[in-house]
Structures are given as C-alpha cells and as structure tokens.
C-alpha cells in the first residue's frame, strides 16, 4: 500500500510539472523587440477607485471616464508614447479590446476608502475577462490596480500577453504619484507621467 501511494504521488507530481511546462509561454520580455506588438488598453476588470470624497459615481466611471482614459493614451500619443518608453519601433493600437469589457464591470463595487491590493495571480484573471481573436502577437495591457485619491497615487500592472494563448508571461507592478489636474484630468495626467517617467525608467532594467 505504501509503495502504491508513492507511485500515485509521483504520477500526480509528474502531471503537475508537465502541465506547468505546457503552460509556459515561448515569449520573454525581450520578445517585444522582435515580434508584432499590440496595445490592448487599460484594463479595469479588478480596479478600485479609492477616495469616496473624490469618486462619487461608479456609473460615471464605467460609462464615461474609463473610455476617456483608455482613449486618452492613443488620442494624445505625442505625449503618451509607449514606443519611446519601451524602446520598440512599432505597435498597433487595439485598445478597444479593453474598452469592450467595461460594460461587464460592476460599477457599485468600484469605489471604496479601504486599502486594496491586486494579487499577482489576479492579473491573469483580468486578462481572462477580455475577448479578442487569438493571434501570434504580443499584447501590452495596463492592468489597473487602483486610482487612489487619498494617497495621490495610481498603481498599474504593466502586463505582456501571449495573444495566441491568452496568457500573461510578464508583469510588473508600478506606482506613480499624481498631482496635476482635477477630476478625470488628474488621472489622465497621471497616465502620461506613468508612461513617460515610471514605465520609461523601470523598463530599462528589464532588458
């Protein structure tokens, strides 16, 4: 019986190892310099907006501001240049991948005064919320953890996705301070700072 249990345990262990290897992506961070890249947009699937004196309506967030911030990146690309921040030559804009998911977000659960942290394993869950055609490209997705008015910060998981397997293969949590602007413009300016300073400086150590 003891020997049988050991054999069973070995089989289970081997299966887990095989499954983990099967799920491992063929890409690494350096692949963004070699493969076709698409910008998937701002992912608010599990985001929290912290500060009930500042954020007063979840409906306004899901039906207006999220789309504004998502389009702000590409509509003002001269000052939100992700290519320059990462040092890549070309990137296709497909931020509608994320914006199409906003209607599924529970607007009543968005706003809080409580501390909030997104776990690293939840980043893949955020990507799983998206719908898109599987293609052999790399997706860049900004998975939003929080816009925190109380702390005057925004926290974003810079995420790379194997778009043929719908699998996250690289993720980094980055926090940027915000200070300029009111209402939606405060966070739009924060996005610009995130791209040009936080992402630009951090990505140099990833190469």
Q: What is the DSSP string of 144-162?
A: EEEEETTTTEEEEEEEEEE
Measured CA to CA in angstroms, residue 92 lies from 38, 95, 142 at distances of 5, 9, 15
| Low-confidence stretches of the chain (pLDDT beneath 50) | 1-22
Q: What is the pLDDT of residue 23?
A: 54
Spell out the domain ranges in the chain: 28-203
Average pLDDT value over all residues in the chain:
90
Residues 143-192 pLDDT 10s: 999 999 999 999 999 999 999 999 999 999 999 999 988 889 999 999 99
- The CA-atom distances, in angstroms, between 38 and each of 41, 68, 91, 178, 180 are 9, 19, 5, 27, 29
* Crossing angle between the packed helical segments 184-193 and 66-75, to the nearest 10 degrees: 40
Structure tokens, 109: 């659960």
50 pairs with which residues across the strands? 112, 148
Judge contact between 123 and 158, C-beta under 8 A.
no
Helix or strand run (H / E) with residue 5: helix 2-23
pTM of the predicted structure, to 2 decimals: 0.88
């Amino acid at each position: 019986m003891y020997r049988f249990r050991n054999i069973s345990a070995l089989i289970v262990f081997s299966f887990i190892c095989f499954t983990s290897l099967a799920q491992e992506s063929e890409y690494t961070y350096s692949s963004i310099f070699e493969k076709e890249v698409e910008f998937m947009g701002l992912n608010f699937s599990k985001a929290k907006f912290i500060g009930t004196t500042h954020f007063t309506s979840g409906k306004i967030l899901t039906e207006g501001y999220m789309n504004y911030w998502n389009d702000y990146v590409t509509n003002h690309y001269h000052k939100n240049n992700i290519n320059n921040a990462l040092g890549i030559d070309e990137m296709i804009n497909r931020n509608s991948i994320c914006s199409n998911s906003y209607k599924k977000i529970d607007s009543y659960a968005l706003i809080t005064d409580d501390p909030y942290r997104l776990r690293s394993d939840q980043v893949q869950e955020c990507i799983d919320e998206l719908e898109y055609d599987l293609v052999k490209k790399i997706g860049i997705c900004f998975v939003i953890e929080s816009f925190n008015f109380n702390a005057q910060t925004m926290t974003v998981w810079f995420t790379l996705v194997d778009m043929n397997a719908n699998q996250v293969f690289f993720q980094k949590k980055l926090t940027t301070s915000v200070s300029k602007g009111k209402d939606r413009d405060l966070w739009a300016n924060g996005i610009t700072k995130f791209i040009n300073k936080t992402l630009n400086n951090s990505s140099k150590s990833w190469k």
